[in-house]
């Protein structure tokens, strides 16, 4: 079993690291403070191919593999988790379902705009009463000639405020629960799409997290994604891939905090010597590094599985729960290593500590991941 990156992936990794050092890291604190990722940075990332990394070239994507996509998010998230999740939400949750479930006409119409960043994508599943219980949607739709009409509300929508391309989930009959749900490709500049608010958050402050009202939104019948009432399946399979992106984000956050802690341990002196000479600090670094390496193996394996296996739900759930919990553990230890300095905003580990927690929550909480894993274990022969 080969755990080494190939030459193309190593070149990509070096290229992303250079981009991050030049374009992302210098403004990461500003992104957090101003709650906004600059349009110019998004354009630069689109020019680098980061927004359509694994889409085929015929849709103006970069034609890379899933592991390369993971590397992009991981490296960017070492400096700015908000920027990392913009790419993850856009690619895994908007580009991917259109690419996997869309018709040829839908792919040709929507994917080039997404791959080149002319539109930023998002995934409108979550509602005030439908989080982990995704089948409990209150957003409804009905057929009206050559249109579907959608009414309802959505919240916690990553990338929502860009008003780009949304994958919207709605039910024809709430009594049917998951069997009544369909998926639609929606231009979020359509009449009836109303932003209620953008949330002010503890972490990933540069990432838009938007609440919507959908009031008589008319969607052409041709925008139905997959077959009618196939929406729940589309949402679950999409989230399987999305969890790999969040694992990559969490891995990057943890690695960024670890790298800064290792350097700090070499430079910071107490009792007349670097604190890295103290066994208490050495053990922290050892545990942090071990947790991250475990998560990296699971995340990279899940990326491989998405490219090669028909079902990778187990792999995606394991890497997500492992990497997200490693990120919260590592950033907490990073804060402790930095002492009082870690608690002030001049040191990046404070921001990373705040950013890490959400990775245990969105795209399926750690509890949901354990349900997925245990069910698959108990159902296996």
Is residue 315 annotated as a catalytic residue, yes or no? Answer: no
* CATH code of the region 121-229: 2.40.110.10
How far apart are alpha carbons 53 and 72 in whole angstroms? 9
Please state the rounded mean pLDDT for residues 221-237: 98
- pLDDT tens column, 30-45: 999 999 999 999 999 9
* Residue 361, SS3 per DSSP: coil
- pLDDT tens column, 290-318: 999 999 999 999 999 999 999 999 999 99
Residue 282 in tokens: 């050495």
CATH architecture of the domain covering 232-379 = Up-down Bundle (1.20)
Annotation: CATH topology of 7-115? Butyryl-Coa Dehydrogenase, subunit A; domain 1 (1.10.540)
- The residue with tokens 């949607």 is 137
- Active-site residue among 227, 325, 363, 367? 363
- The residue with tokens 């050892």 is 286
- pLDDT tens column, 372-381: 999 999 998 7
Domain boundaries, the chain: 7-115, 121-229, 232-379
Whether the predicted model's global pTM rises above the 0.95 cut: yes
- Strands annotated E in the chain: 121-124, 140-144, 147-158, 165-171, 181-187, 193-198, 209-220, 224-225, 269-270, 273-274
Name residue 28's beta-bridge partners: none
């Amino acid at each position: 079993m080969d755990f080494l990156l190939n030459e193309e992936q190593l070149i990509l990794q070096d290229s992303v690291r250079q981009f991050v050092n030049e374009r992302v890291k210098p403004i990461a604190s500003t992104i957090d403070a101003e709650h906004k990722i600059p349009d110019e940075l998004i354009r630069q990332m689109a020019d680098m191919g980061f927004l359509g990394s694994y889409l085929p070239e015929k849709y103006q994507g970069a034609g890379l593999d899933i592991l390369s996509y993971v590397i992009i998010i991981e490296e960017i998230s070492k400096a700015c988790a908000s920027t990392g999740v913009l790419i993850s939400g856009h690619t895994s949750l908007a580009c991917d379902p259109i690419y996997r479930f869309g018709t040829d006409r839908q792919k040709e119409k929507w994917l080039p705009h997404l791959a080149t960043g002319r539109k930023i994508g998002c995934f409108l599943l979550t509602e005030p009463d439908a989080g982990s219980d995704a089948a409990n949607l209150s957003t409804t739709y009905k057929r009206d000639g050559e249109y579907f009409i959608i009414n309802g509300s959505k919240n916690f929508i990553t990338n929502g405020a860009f008003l780009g391309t949304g994958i919207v989930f709605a039910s024809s009959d709430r009594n049917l629960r998951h069997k009544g749900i369909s998926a639609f490709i929606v231009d979020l500049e359509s009449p009836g799409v109303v932003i209620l608010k953008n949330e002010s958050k503890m972490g990933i402050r540069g990432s838009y997290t938007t609440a919507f009202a959908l009031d008589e939104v008319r969607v052409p019948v041709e925008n139905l994604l997959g077959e009618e009432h196939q929406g729940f399946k589309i949402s679950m399979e999409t989230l399987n891939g999305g969890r790999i992106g969040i694992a990559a984000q969490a891995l990057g956050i943890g690695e960024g905090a670890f790298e800064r802690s290792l350097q700090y341990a070499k430079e910071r002196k107490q009792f007349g010597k670097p604190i890295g000479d103290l066994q208490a600090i050495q053990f922290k670094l050892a545990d942090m590094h071990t947790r991250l390496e475990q998560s990296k193996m699971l995340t990279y394996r899940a990326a491989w599985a998405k490219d090669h296996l028909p079902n990778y739900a187990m792999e995606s759930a394991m890497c997500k729960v492992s990497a997200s919990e490693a990120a919260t553990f590592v950033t907490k230890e990073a804060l402790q290593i930095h002492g009082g300095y870690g608690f002030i905003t001049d040191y990046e580990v404070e921001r990373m500590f705040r950013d890490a927690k959400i990775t245990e929550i969105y795209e399926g909480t750690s509890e949901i991941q354990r349900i997925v894993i245990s069910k698959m274990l108990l159902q296996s022969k």
